[in-house]
Structure 1
Amino acid sequence: MSKESKKSLQDLKDVTNQASELAKSIWLAGLGAYGRAYDEAHDRYEKASKETPRLFTDLVDKGSRLESQAREKLGEVTSIGKTISIEERISKMRASLGFGHTASVDDVERLEKKLDALSKKVDALAKANKPAAAKAPAKKAAAPAAKAAAPKAKAARKAPAKKAV
């Protein structure tokens, strides 16, 4: 073999070795990434496993406190219900809302008088505003009507002239 072919063969081996080393480095980097991800996932799992029982016990404690508060409130409501019957509570509610009062003849007459007075005031206001409201639209309506009438008048003047011809 010649020196050039030996050198060429040596260069080929060097390139092959470099490619093998690069491929091995890439493989090791991927393996290292997998190992790191596994370690982080394992650490998070352990941390969650340790916190879960504590979180669960915290929730149970909070729930038991809320339950005792609810039972106290329920006890208060049932004791109120024992002292006052449902009918009494309903009648108190109706009275506070004004449903328990029945209208008398005097009440109806008084309301009718108020209604008549209000009707008169509304009529007076309507009459006072009616002339002003009627004048403003009449002016506006007259202008478009005059504009529309002008072309019709011109057409009417031209029509007899055509018939004469």
Structure 2
Amino acid sequence: MSNDKKSLKDVSSQAGELAKSIWLAGLGAYGRAYDDAQEVVEKASKESPRLFKELVEKGNKLEAQAREKLGDVSTIGKTASIEERISKMRASLGFGHTASADDIERLEKKLDALSKKVDALTKSSASAPATAAPKAKAPRKAAAKKAPAKKAAE
């Protein structure tokens, strides 16, 4: 049994050493990950001021471009009235020129003249159907009389 005790003792010591090795490997992995993370943090902290400066420069350029474009827009709004801007927009869209007060007055006069003519026509057409209706009925009666006469003659 002493042999069995020795082999059991060897196996248990080997298992203990293996467990300790596994534990130390895990601890080493943790230490290495921590060291790598520290390097990344240090590198980022060294690069962050440079990156920040680059972002600020880019922002300044974009702000200057935006102010330039907004400046163009704001001067348009200050120099042109709403009517001028509308006429420019219509011209750019191809709607042609806008009507002036004279054009509108001329069109109103034409519209009044046309309304008077339409009123006159409706008044004359209201009295015309009473005289025109009997004329339309008379030919029909004559045609109806001739047709039975032919049948009787035959």
Measure the CA separation in 1 of the matches of 2:46 and 2:77.
Answer: 47
Summarize the alignment of residues 40-119 of structure 1 with structure 2, pairs less than 5 Å apart: 40-96=36-92, 97-98=94-95, 100=98
What is the count of residue pairs matched by the alignment?
101
How far 1:90 sits from its partner (Å)? Answer: 1.0
Note the aligned Cα RMSD (angstroms). 2.6
Quick one: which of 32, 35, 56 aligns to 1:36? 32
User: What is the deviation of 1:37?
Assistant: 1.4
Deviation at 1:52, TM superposition (A): 2.4
Deviation (angstroms), 1:62: 0.9
- Mapped to 1, the partners of 2:91 and 2:17 lie a distance apart of 95
Kindly state the Cα deviation for residue 70 of structure 1 after the two structures are TM-superposed. Answer: 1.7
Structure 1 residue 63: deviation in Å? Answer: 1.0
Which region of structure 1 is more displaced relative to structure 2, 67-76 or 23-32? 67-76
Q: CA deviation at 1:65?
A: 1.1
Runs of 5+ in structure 1 lacking a partner? 106-165
Identity of aligned residues (%): 65
Task: Tell me the distance in 1 between the aligned counterparts of 2:17 and 2:81.
Answer: 92
Unaligned 5+ segments in structure 2 are: 111-154
Q: 1:8 to 1:78 in 2, by over 3 A?
A: closer
Q: Does 1:16 align with 2:12?
A: yes
Larger Rg: 2
Offset of residue 46 of structure 1: 1.9
Q: Return the structure number with greater relative CO, CA threshold 8 A, min gap 6.
A: 2
CA distance 1:92–1:17, shift in 2 (3 Å):
closer
Q: 1:25 aligns with which of 12, 15, 21?
A: 21
Shift of 1:58: 1.3
